[in-house]
Structure 1
Amino acid sequence: MLDDFFLRALLAGLGLAAVTGPLGSFVVWRRIAYFGDSMAHAAILGVAISLAFGMSIYAGTLAVAIAMALLVSALVARGQVMDTMLGVLAHAALAIGLVAISFVPSARSDLAGFLFGDVLAVGWTDLALIWGGGALVLGLLAWRWQRLVTATVNEELAMAAGIDPRLERLILSLALAVVVALAIRVVGSLLISAMLIVPAAAARGLAATPERMAALAALIAAASVAAGLWASLHLDSPAGPSIVAAATLFFIIGQVFRRG
């Protein structure tokens, strides 16, 4: 029989996997992996703010991630070079966050958990937030799915169909911000983008349609969570990195069996 803490960890990981699969597919299609990195690195600044002001970790991280999403969207709208700007923002946010967190004595001992996750410490309240927030993001993706896919494939075609690509890009950015906030306790700020990118990349060569790729990415992410937690339990390895390592193994297998 599963221990209570392990069951909570498994459920938290599966809840996160359900949303990182479809959302990560858009990250892969749009080639905005660096965008995910930027918000993930900014999560550390959100952690520092949360602890300094006695706020919920999720609330502080979400606020900073949304601010980063809005800032990047504004800069892109002004014609700034995307990859350069994201590189500057990602490293600046991480550096400022680490400096800020060094001034919060209670956070210093937990820094590794914030960076690499501590899924085995997830409580029932965390679990409710992860599943509730994940359900909201999945509902948003289902509602905007066709518009998001069209805007991703061809922005000119989207505009001809009456779709505003900038609005869809903003919606996707805000969804990413929510997922970053949800994932901070599970895999940590440094591994969040890996959970978005690796399962989707593994599914890309195995699926014929966007919908199948999103579903397969979610299944691969879920299998990665189960395999990573199994390795953590039996090999005494860190849970967050073990989950990402398992996802990487699935990616390698996917390259062997990919279509064409």
Structure 2
Amino acid sequence: MSIEKLLQEYTEDYCQCLELAYGKGMMSEGGSEAIDVIFEGFDISHQHCLEIGSGLGGTAYYLAREHNAYVTGLEINERMTEQAKRNTPTALSSQLDFVTSREACLPFKSESFDIVYSKGVLTHVEDKQPIFDEAFRVLKPGGLLLINDWLSADVKWGPIMQKFCDVDDLTVFPMTVEGYTELLARSGFNLLKCVSQDEDYTRYNIDIVERLKTEPTQSEFISKFDRKEYESHVEAFSLTAKAIQDGELKVYRFQCRK
């Protein structure tokens, strides 16, 4: 998928809808609980982290505030980058930086970061090998690559996920866990953990549906957009939960070391 197509999918209105579902500045499910699980077992205080796909900055803000990390957020969407900069809390400004780049080569020196992480982003990228290669390059020796991502049960999406893509007008690419781990190994990473998060992400999406149906969130959503848009998002999150429950969609987290 082209960068232009991805930018078209993540419009300003669509991002605002996601914030109503996920929380201010957040672009994926689970809030602080889901973020903490990605870094489980590691002390990231004063570590220099690179976030691939930093969106509106919510994850980076959280890590800087609650874990005292230094985070550089990398994003292809300049509008998101500028919004993340504008909304950066003053008290955290020395710990945060947000950069826009659409180049295959990451705009950082080799061995620059202690940790590279990505949450729910790489499913939008068809060819992940160059990203993993670049993550390996910019990590210091012994550095960590930490990923949460959507995977598939097969090389093609099933009917529920195909419907989800139609309803949400999104492009996400299927890849099995075996294919994913093979790419990581090819880039030189040592896989420390590969853990299914299906149960948690089913719960997160069911909770989002319930929250969207509860006042004042429902009225706020409809007033900002319209009922058709509201119903579309409720259906999309319902389909996500069902796809996980039926085994079409797999959610995994990976912990790797250089």
TM-score bracket, normalised by the shorter chain, equals under 0.3
Give the strand-richer structure, 1 or 2: 2
Give the helix-richer structure, 1 or 2: 1
TM-score under structure 1 length normalisation = 0.26
TM-score under structure 2 length normalisation = 0.26
Higher RCO by CA contacts (8 Å cutoff, separation 6 or greater)? 1
